[in-house]
Structure formats: C-alpha cells, structure tokens
Amino acid sequence: MDDLYRDFILEHYKRPRNFGELDPHDLDAHEYNPLCGDELGIQIRLADGRIEDLRFNGHGCAISQAAASIASEELIGMPADEAAALDADWMLELLGIDISATRRKCALLSLKVLRHALTGEGTWPVGAAD
C-alpha cells in the first residue's frame, strides 16, 4: 500500500467533487503553484455569511486535485470567516497522508486560492510545524 497514493486520494483525483463552474457566484480567485505551473481557480457563492456552494477548476497533480476535492466537501456550509482562518494543519489532517516538504504546496494550493477568494490575499497557509 502506497503511503501517498492511497485509494481515496486516487479516487478523488480521478473523480474530483465540486469541480467546474458555479454560476452565479460572489467570489472567485486564481492561484499558481510555482513549482510546476499548476493552477487552481475557485468560485464561491455566499449566503448568510456561509459558503453556500463552491467549485474548483484548473489542473494539477493527484495531491493538489484530491486536496481540493476533499476540502470542498468540508467547506460547503462553513462560515466564511472560519474558512478564511483554516491553517495548513487542517488540510494535512484532512488528507491524512505523509506529505514531503516539496509536495506541501501541492496539498495547500486549494487552501491558498480559498483564502485569496475570501480575503483578497492569497497567502500560503502555515501550520504548527512552520
């Protein structure tokens, strides 16, 4: 059994949840992973301060795509201010796999683009280890 490429990661990569376009939407953003040129966009619809719905779009590796897919299921329904404050540990625990330092940005790209959409600033999330 591979540590990184577990079945649920590959499953989310091949059939990502909440990918595509969201029309209409209130917020959107776009980010790049400078390591490989991967890109990820997000469109968010808000209602009563919560993320009512969202879609990711773009292309990337199994880790970045699966992370976005898995995160999307948690993010829908979450208060926007809570979502904007999510840190790297939240994402890494959600994935539950060992991520090497070089692949960390792959795993965190979806959280970065989410922050960009919600706060206007796309900063890399940090965690307890940073």
Partner 1 sequence: MASVSAELDVRADFPILRRELDGKRLVYLDSSSTSQKPEQVLAALDDYYRNHNANIHRGVYPLAQEADALFEGARERIAAFTGGRPRTTIFTRNVTDAINLVAYSWARTNLAGGDAVLITEMEHHSNIVPWQLATQATGAALRYLDVDDAGMLSLEQLDAELARGDIRLVAVTHVSNVLGTINPVEEIVRRAHAAGALVLIDGAQAVPQMAVDVNGIGADFYAWTGHKALGPTGVGVLHADASLLEAMPPFLAGGDMIASVTRERSSWNELPWKFEAGTSMIAQAIGLGAAVDYLATLGMDRVRMHERELTAYALERLTELPGIRTFGPPSADDRGGVVSFALEGIHPHDVAELLGRENVCVRASHHCAQPLMAKLGVAATARASFGPYNVREDVDALVAAITKAQAVFA
Strand-by-strand arrangement of the 50-59 sheet? 27-33, 38-47, 50-59
What amino acid is encoded at 75 in this protein? L
The β-bridge partners of 122 are none
Judged by CB under 8 A, the stretch of 15-23, 36-44, 74-82, 115-123 that binds partner 1 is 36-44
Comparing CB distances to partner 1, the nearer of 51 and 113 is: 113
Cβ nearer to partner 1, comparing 58 with 125: 58
Applying CB under 8 A, which of residues 4, 46, 78, 94 lies at the interface with partner 1? 4
Interacting stretch for partner 1, rule CB under 8 A, among 22-30, 34-42, 86-94, 112-120?
A: 34-42
d(CA 101, CA 28): 28
Among 46, 62, 76, 94, binds partner 1 (CB under 8 A): 62
> What amino acid occupies position 32?
Y
Q: Please confirm whether the linkage preceding 79 is cis (ω < 30° from 0).
A: no
Least spacing, CB of residue 4 vs partner 1, in Å: 7
User: Look-up: residue for tokens 């206007």?
Assistant: 120
Binding site residues, partner 1, CB under 8 A: 2, 4-5, 10, 14, 35-39, 59-63, 65, 103, 106
